[in-house]
Chain A
């Protein structure tokens, strides 16, 4: 047993942490939002130069990391800084693109010159991963995609989409789903973007008889679900660690405020009613950290074991994040209700994460089902 980071990961964490403390703050997020930009291209380029994207891929795929703990190092720092840059889409789509053997594209993703994202969600699918109605019809050497994909993260900034579509079976069947690599400028693709509650950008992607060479299919026909689930497991790991970083940031802000804010002539942190609530926040964050360690350390395990940890961690993160958000706002008082104060971003991001790829209840139910299997 060893709960310490390797030297390389420790170095990446330190450099990345320094870079973000230097470049990122709430003011930048607000400026980006005011100017209608989804993220800061300079920072994204800087992150790529630091090797942040390379750390997400294994050596086999052209990167220098790729394990659960590599994701952990990167995303905890991103979460702590509250970045808006499209790193999560690279996890969700990048692994699948690597799976397709497109090392040329992976290289571009790692270099930060191409943004790729996963276009999987659909209206009415809620958190059911196998809910796919978008159709894929074979026509000679070509494939024709039709349907609408929703909540596509950074869809409007992406040059490449990994689209899930059904070649056979009923709406909720796992069998029959395939994955396709679709350039966002393909004829018949319409992308409409919107802003999420945490200032990140997402899009609705309409595929109107998009005709592509059949070679854009990733893996075998109708057998995409397994790949998809494994990729989402990596995405959920990234999200859980990011949430951990964001919780640490919220905790730090709150602790500073408790020491500096004075009422009744004393710092409010001297009141035991507040101290004990803060102690619980700390205890629960450590529990969340353990759940994340369990997930990162089991990401390479067989499917059932891996997915049980996915659901355990996502459930734990969802519960603890809600506690941290609500307690940190309450412990601050009125100031935490303002958009101008940095806590507002972490509160919104943490809340948003519970809505991505399954919330507390969804994953509790899934954990029960997986445990019985």
Chain B
């Protein structure tokens, strides 16, 4: 047993920290610090800077332009990024599709798509959920029927995050409507400029249009755009979901939020003293800090096993349930810390405008929207209830 990072890992942390200090644009970190929304250009700039350093595609092999980091290194990068108020990497291309192409794509697909993910030519989004297929993802109804060397796609995807910016979408589509649920699904890459595609933004509870509906009306997709074998898409989707879930703990996010919460609670006055000295609020903060201290170690236990080559299975479900609760609790405390100043809905400010002093401290405006936004954590990527069912089946044997 040794809880400490190795010298190499500590040196790696220093390298990441120094690079962030020198290269993270102030305009970006300010937006993150204040909880403002990022534009497409903001994300593209951040991806470009990371790619120039070779750190955009963190889990790809070096020969494809990736960083080839293990799970511990990725965890360290995430922590340092969050503490530096860096934007997160938009995961759809580099973190999700990349590994699927590397594992199951053809040589041509790898050579064509991977460099374009790295250099920012293609912005990818994920076409998984449908109105009738949420937790029950295999219930998708969007069809892709063969017509010569094309598929003709009809149907609808939803909750498509940042799809409004996307050039391409990777989709789960039903290629054999007669087969059993999981067995008739294929994995298709679709150009968003293809005729017949309509994108409609969905404004969410926090006022942001982060997600979209995507409609497919007789959309013709070359058969060459299918990844892997026909009707084997479910296997690839599951592979991708495992990748999605390992990063879902959000320990880095929580660590940075706790730091911001403590500093806010020390500044906000309540009953003639800083809120941090109010015993009830101090107790709530301490309780979640203790949870996070343990969660950090739980995460490292899984990550450390993963970096030695053991694929995280149901452990990632465990991390998701607990990690999301902690993140949600922290954003809830942040909202409450600002008291009445959390009330004004300053959409223009969040979109990049100026703050109105009379409405409270500069970072108050994002507290309630972030609180609402973070409710998604226990819903997406498999709801926490779905995760509990996975735990029940695989870890408890019930």
Contact = CB atoms under 8 A, between A and B. Distances in A.
Contacts of B6: 1
B38 interface: no
A90 interface: no
A5 B1 contact: yes
Contact of B293 (A255, A275, A312, A365): A312
Nearest to B1: A69
Contacts of A105: none
B16 interface: no
B286 A275 contact: no
Contacts of B1: 2-6, 69, 72, 293, 296-297
Interface centre among A72, A270, A279, A368 (most CB of B within 10 A): A279
Interface stretch (B21-29, B171-179, B295-303): B295-303
A290 interface: yes
A258 B286 contact: no
A139 interface: no
Interface centre among B282, B290, B305 (most CB of A within 10 A): B290
Given A1-B5, A1-B300, A296-B1, A279 B388 contact: yes
A270 B393 CA distance: 10
Contacts of A364: 283, 286-287, 290
Given A2-B304, A276-B389, A312-B290, A283 B297 contact: no
A209 interface: no
B2 to A, nearest CB: 4
B392 A290 contact: no
B282 A255 contact: no
B298 A287 contact: yes
A168 interface: no
Contacts of B295: 287, 290
Interface centre among A275, A283, A287, A316 (most CB of B within 10 A): A283
B328 to A, nearest CB: 15
A290 B396 contact: no
B77 to A, nearest CB: 16
B297 A290 contact: yes
Nearest to B277: A372
A58 B395 CA distance: 37
B375 to A, nearest CB: 19
Contacts of A286: 298, 318, 322
Nearest to B301: A3
Contacts of B395: 279, 282
A368 B318 contact: no
B351 to A, nearest CB: 37
A114 B290 CA distance: 38
A258 B392 CA distance: 12
Contacts of A297: 1-3
A289 B293 CA distance: 12
B323 to A, nearest CB: 10
Nearest to B72: A1
Interface in B327-359: none
A346 to B, nearest CB: 18
Interface string B269-304: 000000000000011001101110111111011001
Given A1-B304, A364-B286, A294 B318 contact: no
B398 A258 contact: yes
Given A1-B2, A276-B392, A371 B322 contact: no
A336 to B, nearest CB: 18
B290 A3 contact: no
B2 A2 contact: yes
Given A258-B398, A312-B293, A368-B286, A287 B322 contact: yes
A368 B282 contact: yes
Contacts of B2: 1-2, 297
B112 interface: no
Contacts of A287: 291, 294-295, 298, 322
Interface string A44-59: 0000000000000000
Contacts of A258: 398
A290 B3 contact: no
A293 B293 CA distance: 11
Contacts of B238: none
Contacts of A315: 287, 290
B396 A275 contact: yes
B321 A1 contact: no
A294 B293 contact: yes
A270 B398 contact: yes
B5 to A, nearest CB: 6
A316 B294 contact: yes
B318 A283 contact: yes
A288 B385 CA distance: 21
Contacts of A20: none
Interface string A119-134: 0000000000000000
Given A1-B304, A258-B398, A367 B391 contact: no
Interface in A272-303: 272, 275-276, 278-280, 282-283, 286-291, 293-294, 296-298
B193 interface: no
Contacts of B388: 275-276, 279-280
B397 interface: yes
Given A1-B72, A255-B397, A312-B290, A279 B392 contact: yes
B290 A291 contact: yes
Contacts of B229: none
A65 interface: no
Contacts of A365: 283
Contact of B389 (A3, A275, A280, A312): A275
B3 A282 contact: no
B4 interface: yes
A312 B296 CA distance: 13
Interface in B101-156: none
20 contacts: A1-B2, A1-B6, A3-B304, A258-B398, A259-B397, A270-B398, A275-B388, A276-B385, A278-B392, A278-B396, A279-B395, A283-B318, A287-B294, A288-B294, A291-B293, A291-B294, A296-B1, A312-B293, A315-B287, A364-B283
Top 8 A-B pairs ranked by shortest CB distance? A290-B297, A279-B388, A297-B3, A290-B294, A275-B392, A279-B391, A269-B398, A291-B294
Given A272-B389, A278-B392, 16 more contacts: A1-B72, A1-B300, A3-B1, A270-B398, A275-B398, A278-B398, A279-B321, A282-B318, A282-B391, A282-B396, A286-B298, A287-B322, A290-B298, A297-B1, A297-B3, A312-B294
Interface of B: 1-6, 9, 72, 282-283, 286-287, 289-291, 293-298, 300-301, 304-305, 318, 321-322, 385, 387-389, 391-392, 395-398
